[in-house]
Structure 1
Amino acid sequence: MRIGILGGTFDPIHLGHIRPALDIKQQLQLDEVWLMPNHIPPHKQSTNVDSQHRLAMVEQICQQHKDLKLCDIEIKRQTPSYTVVTLQQLQQAYPQHQFYFIMGMDSFINLPQWHLWQQLFELCHIVLCQRPGWQLDNNHPMQKVLQQKTRRYSAQFNISNGNLSVGSIIPVDTILQDISSTEVREKLLNHEDVSSLIAPCTKTYIQQHQLYLT
């Protein structure tokens, strides 16, 4: 199977995560997209609610969308989660799958700060989305990587790439929506309406458990 992976703290999960995941699944004809909440992300100090709540909110979203599956490999880990380590474990556990790791241009620009980032291309394809306000300067060091590894996806992608089961950067036209978990949390704290930012089931869960009020 061809599996997309979208990781994040999902604190909380919002439509800016869900809509692009579904669109990418359709555009690249993936079999599934796995939503992978982090437990201890290496680039953030902490999360605002505990892992149990974040996991439950993602699980509810997956129950509503048959194309989305929960991947709990990182949230169960008691140490910081490094993407390379996670993908190595997933590849070992699911050798029959081909993985497509989804990221925005903002993450791609900072990829050299990731642990053993160059090994990512030995483990997966990278699906690169645009995020409003983020552009890659022609003089940026990652521009060369982008030029060398970019492959445009088409119906003939797997055939034209032969045995190239990993290692490509695949740009997609999906523009990541300008929604952030920070914005959602701030609106919840100020008792503002978030109906246009999160799914109804997420809103209900947050209200039931009185999350993000402090």
Structure 2
Amino acid sequence: MRIGILGGTFDPIHLGHINPALDVKQQLNLDQVWLMPNHIPPHKNTTMVSSFHRLEMVKLVCQHYPEFQLCDIEINRDTTSYSVTTLTLLTQEYPQHEFFFIMGMDSFIQLPLWYQWQSLFSLCHIALCQRPGWAMDAHSEMAKELLFRQATINDANQSHQTKHGKIFSVNSQLIDISSTDIRQRLQQHADTQSLLHPSTRDYIEQHQLYR
């Protein structure tokens, strides 16, 4: 199977996560997208709500979207969630699958700061979603990687292609908002209807999160 992987703190999960994941699945003709909440993310100091609540919100989203499946490999780990460690474990456990690691341009630009980042290309492809306001320096290290590894959507459907190492640029319905912005809106009791799935809004209200 061809599996997209979307990791994040999901604090909370919002349409800025959901819409690009659906676009990636459709454009790259994937079988599923696995939503993978982090337990201890290496690039953030903490999360605002517990792993339990973040996991439950992702579960609810998966119940409403048959395209999604929960992947709890990181949130059940007591150590820092390094993507290369996770992808190594997933490729060992599911050698039959072809993995597409979904990330935005903001994360891709910062990839050289990630732990053993170059090893990711020996484990998966990258599905790269543009994010409003983010541009890449044409002379940067990641611009060179993109030029070297970039593949077309048609390439993704060729069975003879390698199972890792390519970068696929995806046109996506990106929302220029972050979980931080959404938490601020929730604290201020501002409208989040266009940003959160109804099940997420109901869960947050029920448990009085981010107040």
TM-score range for the pair, normalised by the shorter chain length: over 0.9
SS at match of 2:115: coil
Equivalences for 1:53-92 in 2 at 5 Å? 53-92=53-92
Contact 1:4 1:100 in 2 (8 A): yes
Equivalences for 1:35-184 in 2 at 5 Å? 35-154=35-154, 157-159=157-159, 162-184=160-182
The alignment yields a C-alpha RMSD, in angstroms, of: 1.1
Alpha-carbon deviation of 1:71?
Answer: 0.3
Q: Which is worse superposed, 17-26 or 34-43?
A: 17-26
CA distance in 1, matches of 2:194, 2:92: 39
Contact 1:129 1:175 in 2 (8 A): no
The amino acid that maps onto 2:167 is I
Alpha-carbon deviation of 1:98?
Answer: 0.5
1:11 aligns with 2:41: no
Which consecutive unaligned segments of at least 5 residues does structure 1 have?
none
CA distance in 2, matches of 1:140, 1:155: 25
Hey, what does 2:34 align to over in structure 1? 34
Alpha-carbon deviation of 1:212?
Answer: 0.3
Alpha-carbon deviation of 1:175?
Answer: 4.5
Q: State the Cα deviation string for residues 6-40 of structure 1 (Å, max 9, x = none).
A: 00000000011111111111111100000000000
TM-score normalised according to structure 1 size: 0.96
1:192 aligns with 2:190: yes
Contact 1:11 1:54 in 2 (8 A): yes
CA distance in 2, matches of 1:126, 1:176: 17
SS at match of 1:174: coil
SS at match of 2:129: strand
Contact 1:109 1:136 in 2 (8 A): yes
Alpha-carbon deviation of 1:155?
Answer: 6.6
Alpha-carbon deviation of 1:179?
Answer: 2.1
Count of matched residue pairs: 211
Alpha-carbon deviation of 1:156?
Answer: 6.6
Q: State the Cα deviation string for residues 90-134 of structure 1 (Å, max 9, x = none).
A: 011111110000001111111000000000000000001100000
The amino acid that maps onto 1:42 is P
SS at match of 2:153: coil
CA distance in 2, matches of 1:102, 1:134: 16
The amino acid that maps onto 1:190 is Q
SS at match of 1:154: helix
Residue 173 to residue 197, structure 1, CA distance change in 2 (3 Å): same
